[in-house]
Structure 1
């Protein structure tokens, strides 16, 4: 074993190294010429930091702050963490964020639940860009092309616009860089015939040019009967230094996914009491049409121009283009009869989404001073045009009943009332002009003031392509002008710990999503508003072998749409929803070869004022917890290296019970998932990994759609992969 190996494993401490060098010098004699040693790096572990407070993030602020410097709850799931934890896609990455749960059900594949909120109240970005259709556009994407995933908890519309009452998530793609040539390859195979082939390379062509290309292909036969999936992702970028002060990056992405006979959910056993019950015999059953389908094609293009005007002033301009085409052809709802002897199938939907987004963002950062104190500014202007046309054909059915365990289903177009072809419903055009500004000023050496402000001018135009009526006019438009912001103080208590307090606001659409909003959903409603108070701390301990973050927050969202008690068939914007909670995250290097990391979230979420229509009557749900929101979520990861070539891992995830309905009459049981991995280094750059997820084969629900169906999580899987780089 070499000295370098000993140092990397933590077996050779700095004191031991000093003694070794002194001994070597003495053995050479005082007259000997000093030896010139290669530069070495002394580290406590080869695992990396599970919670690196010095890591920069670009989602929680444009000021270039580290996690510790940012007065907010910030999580960065970097590339190394994704590899170590076996994170296969973007939604799995979110499990590393305190308190987040998610679901990839086909009808809402990007569903995220964060700090007691969901849907459009949690903004999901792609490289800092919102497509304003998060629950669909943020469908789980294979993680190979991504460099990291970042999240900020709570109200944060002041950063990227409407939405983000519960938080903001940002998926950041790998880009070309100048850190040298590097090529990596990965191949894997797992249960349900899951295969992965992936390659990525970064090449520095000359002193001015660098390119990067990442390609990934995944296939899977699926754990639900008849489901098959094939997905491709490719991300390419070209970095060129036009002058010493001016650089340009062209970044292109392509995603293609096809799912044959997608799984939409499993019926809940009757009678429905207070606990959800799943018949194990239906766990793998798929009640969709034989030729059901989900298809998606996504293209991104970004032109990023960066100019270092002076040592203190930097400019950045990003022109971006996005287009997506999605097709659905499925029977989507299944329910047991009263005796659980048959499953009734209903709600056939043939639908196409055609969406484009074009925009340009100009930003600046400026280092300056105010009253002799260091002050950093960031701001800019963003203009975008988002256009989406939907082509829905919906037939409610029902389409008969089948035996729960032994059945066959029809081809989709043989269903009564279903015909081929796409006819447009309406086109929504959303134009957004935003001005934003942030600042951090040091009031004293240890105390900083961080502020942010954003003003949006949002124009919604909707064109109806179908029959005109009083509730569906040929054309209507609305304008929204939200002003949101942040005010925060951060104080360094010691070199190893700080404390912060912040107040922030947010705004989101009354209909949830403006790119699909109808006349009845927006009418004369304004955006709903949210506010958050948060206090917290970022700290290191045990000689900086451990890091942690702690936060307490209170969030209130006002003016949500509720059923009008005087006219239950209509809604009025007078409702209110709130949440308060605690989040804790820790990472600790116990020894040189043992590392532990984990997080815990406790949240109390409720409707303060909320009515829904039941049987033509408005019923209050005040005091109830929103659906799909757990009170407690916890994660734990252990990593142990008994030998330099071997790394063992174990993980645990706990999610407490959730309600399936706003009446809070039906809930599931809490669930705990266990996973494990073993990695063996074949050589310095090649490793073989065996990984198991949900090892106890727990039957659990990712989410619920009413009281008839649960969308189940993946059963036990085992996979093996090999990854190398050169």
Structure 2
């Protein structure tokens, strides 16, 4: 039955020396003023819980500025999803948490589990950070992580390379995990049942009067997923130790280990095709009998082991001056053994399987980041600044074995899938293909200066020196030399102006820039993607307003923006064998968000965004000819994303919640010839406090059992999960 889917060599000191004074010239010196105490909100992380949610715009988001600005002082659209909101919505992982960010859509297909769209740009043009760190492979490495170890997620819309380096034209998403803090002792245990079994615990203890704090987070989840034969097992261990060394000097050591294994990963469901192999009328259609059927080999695998280590030193030199330094290391090993592509053949009576890929990624990142913050007054007006360095070394080796050939036809409803090593030409041998050595060094500075009469100016500048060596381990050719070195020196920044119309109402304007790889990511880019290219250039203009209302019980934000990204790689219209850096992509949009607690019993929140994303200059090869895609919408970018949630506290023990999410129509290809309609998802939740220490929670996702496409493709769409039910018992002792 058919149904429509509802769905560092040389360094560039001269450039840096010229760039930084342009920003620092406006900063005060000792001859101008005496140091003024820096507000403590600059120095400490701010957590918004149920008690402080009445003033959400007073919270701080480190992802949007190193100055510790509150959200209302920041000339940018910033969203913070705190721990209490994560638990209220029953978010299972870091992608679920993104439901609360305006304009974001997402999916987790195994080959690119960090598939996120934000302000008209995909994962290749977004920074997906982990505790403020990018591994420069975000579309692949930023897999959803179980939410138990997450403290909050922060999102900043639009270009932000001035904060974290290349790769952030569309925006930045920063997942921040729990570490030892001064909030007191914690003893918590959780058991979860339903479609996903879970055991988790949080323990935090203060060690006498020494000021030292130890924290341990343990999480294990396991269960069969909705598609045939697909099982997932994951665990995370996070340990941290906070130790005061001397007065004003604190050191935190944070270690984290993650493991995830998915057996027989689901890669997608084949779409129905007409006799000529095309998609009828351009709209995706599916055979209901194939829902949940998995055509991957029975021993197909995705497996990942990740280790994070951070040494964080915080030194309060004086009330107005603070120095922080983070030394970090990331080690990841990712393995894929899969048969990945499935296509209907023979008038939709058989499914052809093709494209075997055995792949291993061995990646390590070392880094050092230092920040010096200082506050002063000039003529009685406050001026705060931060400057520092950011260094990293990123090494990744890929071991690919790819066979892009068909492996026969199978029954669409009861396929005999076989095993990986039974496929002709497949062997379990890991031969290195290439190693990318990426060395980065940057100097950065930020400043906020009050101008009087409610005006303030916020500026930031970052100068990077990026050196990349690509080492070929395979056969040498003209298009694949033994070694290819290249380097980039992007200069990015932001300039914003904020006006306080009242204590609770601000308006702002800002311009910001970013730099991205022309195609792909630098951690895996090869000779053909780099030989003729510099980094692409992005810029954004944004206007917005933030205001509180109803005596501080509510807050709302509005932002309009215009983003342009230039020098994308496109096919040379005069030579289809070459790509050239002349493409251009843009987006314009409007974002609205609000939250309101009208009474002690009710809390509501919502967001709505409209994005008009278009290619301005883009040429690609189609059947050995060049075709312009100018005016078309990039794939997987919805025009409208919206969400609503409401929580009702029926009494002291029972809270009921509901949420709704809408993702608009999206195209599957740059030609815009294949598309899927909008989809809507509804969720319900209930929280019952059985005793002061024990809480029971229940959650239904996708209440209407909507069949929808989470990630579009012109070859293999990836469907979202059907209705699921989960529950948990949470004991705090």
Q: 1:557 aligns with which of 553, 562, 565?
A: 565
Tell me how far 1:48 sits from its aligned partner. Answer: 6.1
Q: Distance in 2 between matches of 1:466 and 1:568?
A: 25
1:10: which partner in 2? none
Tell me how far 1:47 sits from its aligned partner. Answer: 7.6
2:39: which partner in 1? none
Q: Distance in 2 between matches of 1:712 and 1:50?
A: 38
Tell me how far 1:681 sits from its aligned partner. Answer: 0.6
2:335: which partner in 1? 327
Q: Is the 8 A contact 1:51 1:587 kept in 2?
A: no
1:206 is aligned to 2:213 = no
2:286: which partner in 1? 278
Q: Is the 8 A contact 1:88 1:142 kept in 2?
A: yes
2:14: which partner in 1? none
1:591 is aligned to 2:589 = no
Tell me how far 1:370 sits from its aligned partner. Answer: 3.2
Q: Distance in 2 between matches of 1:642 and 1:149?
A: 28
Q: Is the 8 A contact 1:50 1:81 kept in 2?
A: no
Q: Is the 8 A contact 2:383 2:447 kept in 1?
A: yes
1:636-715 matched pairs, under 5 angstroms: 636-705=644-713, 707-715=714-722
Q: 1:187 aligns with which of 185, 191, 203?
A: 191
2:64 aligns to what SS in structure 1? Answer: coil
1:222: which partner in 2? 225
Q: Distance in 1 between matches of 2:683 and 2:644?
A: 10
2:390: which partner in 1? 382
Q: Distance in 2 between matches of 1:51 and 1:426?
A: 51
Q: Distance in 1 between matches of 2:186 and 2:308?
A: 24
Q: Distance in 2 between matches of 1:95 and 1:48?
A: 22
Q: Is the 8 A contact 1:51 1:548 kept in 2?
A: no
Q: Distance in 2 between matches of 1:463 and 1:496?
A: 55
Q: 1:75 aligns with which of 66, 79, 89?
A: 79
1:482: which partner in 2? 490
Q: Which moved more, 1:130-139 or 1:684-693?
A: 684-693
Q: Is the 8 A contact 1:121 1:512 kept in 2?
A: no
Q: Distance in 1 between matches of 2:490 and 2:424?
A: 46
Tell me how far 1:371 sits from its aligned partner. Answer: 4.1
Q: Distance in 2 between matches of 1:150 and 1:222?
A: 28
Q: 1:725 aligns with which of 725, 729, 732?
A: 732
Tell me how far 1:120 sits from its aligned partner. Answer: 2.1
> Which has the higher relative contact order, 1 or 2, with Cα contacts under 8 A spaced 6 or more apart?
2
Count of equivalent residues: 679
Tell me how far 1:445 sits from its aligned partner. Answer: 4.2
Q: Is the 8 A contact 2:54 2:553 kept in 1?
A: no
2:406 aligns to what SS in structure 1? Answer: coil
1:400 aligns to what SS in structure 2? Answer: strand
Q: Distance in 2 between matches of 1:139 and 1:644?
A: 37
Q: Distance in 1 between matches of 2:151 and 2:66?
A: 18
> Unaligned regions of 5+ residues in structure 1, if any?
1-44
Q: Distance in 1 between matches of 2:50 and 2:71?
A: 22
Q: Distance in 2 between matches of 1:613 and 1:50?
A: 54
1:603-614 matched pairs, under 5 angstroms: 603-614=611-622
Q: Is the 8 A contact 2:54 2:552 kept in 1?
A: no
Tell me how far 1:708 sits from its aligned partner. Answer: 2.5
Q: Is the 8 A contact 1:49 1:587 kept in 2?
A: no
Show CA shifts across 1:425-449 (max 9, x none).
Answer: 0110000001110000001141100
The alignment yields a C-alpha RMSD, in angstroms, of 1.1
Q: Is the 8 A contact 1:50 1:587 kept in 2?
A: no
Q: Which moved more, 1:402-411 or 1:477-486?
A: 402-411
Q: Distance in 2 between matches of 1:565 and 1:483?
A: 30
Q: 1:232 aligns with which of 222, 235, 240?
A: 235
Q: Distance in 1 between matches of 2:136 and 2:715?
A: 29
Q: 1:542 aligns with which of 541, 546, 550?
A: 550
Q: Distance in 2 between matches of 1:544 and 1:475?
A: 60
1:298-317 matched pairs, under 5 angstroms: 298-317=306-325
Show CA shifts across 1:545-569 (max 9, x none).
Answer: 2110100000000000011100112
Q: Distance in 2 between matches of 1:470 and 1:560?
A: 23
1:368 aligns to what SS in structure 2? Answer: strand
Q: Distance in 2 between matches of 1:50 and 1:327?
A: 46
Which runs of structure 1 show a deviation greater than 4 angstroms over 4 or more consecutive aligned residues? 45-48
Q: Is the 8 A contact 2:55 2:553 kept in 1?
A: no
2:182: which partner in 1? 178
1:154 is aligned to 2:158 = yes
1:118 is aligned to 2:126 = no
1:40: which partner in 2? none
Q: 1:258 aligns with which of 250, 257, 261?
A: 261
Q: Distance in 1 between matches of 2:574 and 2:250?
A: 61
Show CA shifts across 1:195-240 (max 9, x none).
Answer: 0100011111123210100010000111110011100101110000
- Normalising by structure 1, report the TM-score: 0.92
Tell me how far 1:414 sits from its aligned partner. Answer: 1.2
Q: Is the 8 A contact 1:569 1:616 kept in 2?
A: no
2:576 aligns to what SS in structure 1? Answer: strand
Q: Distance in 2 between matches of 1:542 and 1:132?
A: 43
